[in-house]
Structures are given as structure tokens and as C-alpha cells.
Amino acid sequence: MKTTLLNKTALTTGTALLLTAMMGSAHAEPTGYDQLTFQTEVKEEIQNDEVRASLYKKAQATDSKALATMLNTSINNAMKIAKRYPSVTVSTGQQRTYPRYDKDNKIIGWTGQANIDLKSTDFAATSQLIADLQETLVMENLNFGVSESKKDALEQKLMTNASRAFQQQAKNLTSAWGARGYRVINVNLNTGGNSPRPMYSSMSMKASSESGSVPSQSFESGNSTVSVTANGTIELTK
């Protein structure tokens, strides 16, 4: 993937950053020298390699004990099925129970929902597991992102690139202001980015074939953008 360097002084905030540079002494302890505050950013688009999903069982019963038995049995069975897929991390998710009332505001029963959450970089296994679980559970959401290990590795590289971009911009500004040199007052590195994550509702995900089984789905994970910004203040020397 190609790394994109953005000069935040010129491209991102324009006049605002120019004013910040002109008034740089307000951002650091004055020392008698001119100070400039600016920001640079590097970003890279990367393919999502992790899928997350949540499925649930919803049920009703006349008493809370019977409801709990139904939900726990369903989730326990789902966990047993999930053990067939060791490459998928499975955990119990949200659980909630609430009463149902009649017209006289008396409790006539209980409704509850229990979730199971999936996370994996193995798309094929996750897709098949989701299909198996949808025999008894309903899909709540499905989304894609970058795994922590992959994101951390990329951010380490981008931090180096952002630091170099900051230094290069500092040299450019030093020359533009006719200064002899500069020294760094402070620099902050911040990570960020956006992750387009397709979301599917339970209705669009619930499907069945003539045999009654649920077919697995082909995933298109899309890309995310990871970015690192370097912002700080330099002091020009005459």
C-alpha cells in the first residue's frame, strides 16, 4: 500500500494554522525567539483482516426462571457448536431480561435476550460458524476492521514517517522564515483513522435453503485508513 503524506500546514487547516504559526509564542514558554506551531500527518489504507459478529437468542416465558433456562440452554448449545472452530474467538455477550405487562399493569410474563460474540481473522471459518449458529440464533450485526497486531505494526511505521515529515516541515519553515536553524519545543504523536465497516441487519442476514440449513456467506471486508499525526512547536534561531 502507498503511504500518503499530508502537509497539514498547507492542506488541512490553511489560514488557521498560519495564524497559529504567527502566534506560536502563545503555545509555549516565550524565550525571546520566534516559535511556530504546526502539524503533519501520514496515512495508509489497509485491508481489513478481522471480522466481528454478534448473534442472539430472544425468548419469552411466563416466569423468569423458565426464561433463563431457555436462554442459557440456547447459548450453551451455541458455545458447543463454536468449539468446532478453534480459529474463532467466542464470548458470551449482552444479556437482558424485562417484564411484560397486561393492560392493568400487572406482570404476565418475561422477555429476554442473550448474545454470543465472535471475532476472528479466519473469514471462511467465521462465515461457516455464523451459518451453523443461525439455525437457532439471529444475526444482530457483522462488521470488519483491522486486527490489533496488524494495526500496531502499521502505526509503528507511520510514527517514524510522521516524525520525519515533521522534521522536514520544520526545515522548510526555517528556510521560509529566513532563520539560521531551529530547536524542537515539543512534539506529540497521535494515532487515528477511519474504518468503513459494513453492517448487516438481522433481516438481511437470516437466510435458509430448501434443506432448511443456512448457507455460509462470502465476505467482502473492505479497507480501513490508519493515520498518525505529529503536531508540535519549534523555535527558530536567528
Tell me what the mean pLDDT of segment 114-124 comes to: 96
CA–CA dist 137, 80 (Å, integer):
14
Q: Are 58 and 111 in contact (CB under 8 A)?
A: yes
Examine the pLDDT at 73 and tell me if it is beyond 80.
yes
Q: Within 10 Å of residue 65's Cβ, how many Cβ atoms? A: 10
What cell numbers appear for 24 in the block? 506560536
Examine the pLDDT at 209 and tell me if it is beyond 90.
no
Query: What is the pLDDT at residue 219?
Result: 81
Tell me what the mean pLDDT of segment 55-66 comes to: 94
What confidence category does residue 214 fall into, taking pLDDT thresholds of 50, 70 and 90? Answer: confident
Q: Are 22 and 105 in contact (CB under 8 A)?
A: no
What confidence category does residue 195 fall into, taking pLDDT thresholds of 50, 70 and 90? Answer: low
Examine the pLDDT at 4 and tell me if it is beyond 90.
no
Q: Are 37 and 27 in contact (CB under 8 A)?
A: yes
CA–CA dist 130, 116 (Å, integer):
11
Residue position matching grid coordinates 481473522 = 121
What domains are defined for the chain? Answer: 3-47+149-195+225-237 (3.30.110), 50-145 (3.30.70.360)
pTM as predicted: 0.70
Examine the pLDDT at 179 and tell me if it is beyond 70.
yes
Q: Which of 7-21, 113-127, 145-159 has the lowest mean pLDDT?
A: 7-21
